[in-house]
């Protein structure tokens, strides 16, 4: 882990949000970005000015997750933050881990059940857990995350429900909120919903799912998003100019709240 993130990955994300408008994070799914693709891919990400990597996915068919992360670690100084879909995605090679509770659903296993199994492992590995209230948002079609978690997404036309859900998560002590349309979503998280959440919550809001253009990114940040995550669009178009435009949109947009 680099000195820049040695004290706290969470604080690093807060600092980036404060200094740059919003953090821009690239999600790497090992099933979709093979080890041999990592050198060119990470070089593009560095040149584009991204702030961190999320690593993981709802499904993970790739074997040797630790080895994959070691290859990635050798190529980047940026924080590697786990975005786990299962216990198999907890690794000592990460700098931190989103300790996710699917608060949009009522499946006890993903609200708290899997966490009981994960907590001793996280402690023994010395990982930094970042408690995160994860909200699946209706995006036009069923997503892998919805299917795997056996939960229904929050209706996209109900920003008040999303705001109350997020506020409850903040009140029980979660340090990040995550509104996600899911991988390759048809529709992005509505700005009205982002604004409703950040109107009542003070912890940072991550927004991801279906984002494809700099304009979409800028609109989410202006609505209140403090961290932007993109995976599928960059997997499909991994070139420096495109990534740089997306990162610049996150960094130059003015957040509605801090």
pLDDT at 4: 42
With respect to residue 258, please indicate whether it lies within any of the assigned structural domains.
Answer: no
Residue 56 domain flag: yes
Q: What is the CATH number of the domain that holds 158?
A: 3.20.20.390
126 within domain boundaries: yes
**pLDDT in tens for each of the 258 residues of the chain?**
444 444 699 999 999 999 999 999 999 999 999 999 999 999 999 999 999 999 998 777 766 899 999 999 999 999 999 999 888 899 999 999 999 999 999 999 999 999 999 999 999 999 999 999 999 999 887 777 887 888 899 999 999 999 999 999 999 999 999 999 987 788 999 999 999 999 999 999 999 999 999 999 999 999 999 999 999 999 999 999 999 999 999 998 765 544
What domain range includes position 195? Answer: 3-252
Q: Do 26 and 45 meet the contact criterion of CB atoms below 8 Å apart? A: yes
Strands 128-136 and 96-102, bridge-based pairing: parallel
Q: What is the pLDDT of residue 255?
A: 59
Neighbours of 219 (CB within 10 A): 17
Per-residue pLDDT at 62: 64
Position 257 in a domain: no
- The per-residue pLDDT for 63 is 66
Tell me, yes or no, whether 143 lies in a domain: yes
Q: Which of 90, 130, 136 minimizes the C-alpha distance to 110?
A: 136
Structure token digits, residue 96: 């931190």
The label of the residue with tokens 């919550």 reads: 201
Structural domain count of the chain: 1
Q: Is residue 162 part of a domain?
A: yes
The answer to the question of residue 201 being in a domain is: yes
Q: Which of 140, 58, 128 is nearest to 95 (CA)?
A: 128
The DSSP output letter for 139 is -
What are the backbone angles phi and psi of residue 96, rounded to the nearest 5°? -160, 170
Q: Is the CB of residue 115 less than 8 Å from the CB of residue 87?
A: no
Q: What are phi and psi of 102, to 5 degrees?
A: -80, 85
Let me know if residue 154 belongs to a domain: yes
pTM, full prediction = 0.93
Q: Which of 219, 207, 216, 139 is nearest to 177 (CA)?
A: 207
């Amino acid at each position: 882990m680099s000195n820049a993130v040695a004290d706290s990955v969470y604080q690093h994300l807060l600092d980036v949000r404060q200094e740059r408008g919003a953090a821009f994070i690239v999600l790497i799914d090992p099933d979709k970005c093979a080890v041999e693709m990592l050198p060119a891919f990470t070089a593009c990400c560095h040149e584009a000015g991204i702030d961190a990597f999320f690593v993981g996915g709802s499904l993970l068919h790739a074997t040797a997750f630790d080895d994959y992360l070691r290859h990635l670690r050798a190529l980047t100084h940026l924080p590697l933050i786990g975005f786990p879909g299962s216990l198999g995605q907890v690794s000592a090679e990460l700098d931190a881990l989103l300790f996710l509770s699917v608060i949009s659903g009522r499946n006890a296993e993903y609200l708290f059940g899997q966490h009981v199994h994960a907590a001793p492992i996280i402690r023994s590995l010395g990982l930094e857990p970042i408690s995160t209230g994860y909200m699946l948002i209706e995006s036009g079609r069923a997503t892998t995350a919805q299917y795997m978690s056996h939960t229904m997404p929050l209706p996209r036309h109900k920003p008040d429900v999303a705001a109350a859900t997020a506020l409850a998560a903040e009140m029980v002590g979660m340090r990040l909120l995550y509104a996600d349309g899911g991988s390759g979503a048809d529709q992005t998280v509505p700005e009205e919903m982002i604004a409703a959440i950040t109107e009542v919550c003070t912890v940072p809001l991550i927004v991801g799912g279906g984002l494809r253009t700099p304009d979409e990114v800028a609109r989410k940040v202006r609505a209140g998003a403090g961290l932007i995550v993109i995976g599928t669009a960059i997997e499909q178009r991994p070139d420096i100019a495109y990534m740089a435009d997306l990162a610049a949109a996150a960094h130059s947009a003015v957040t509605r709240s801090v």
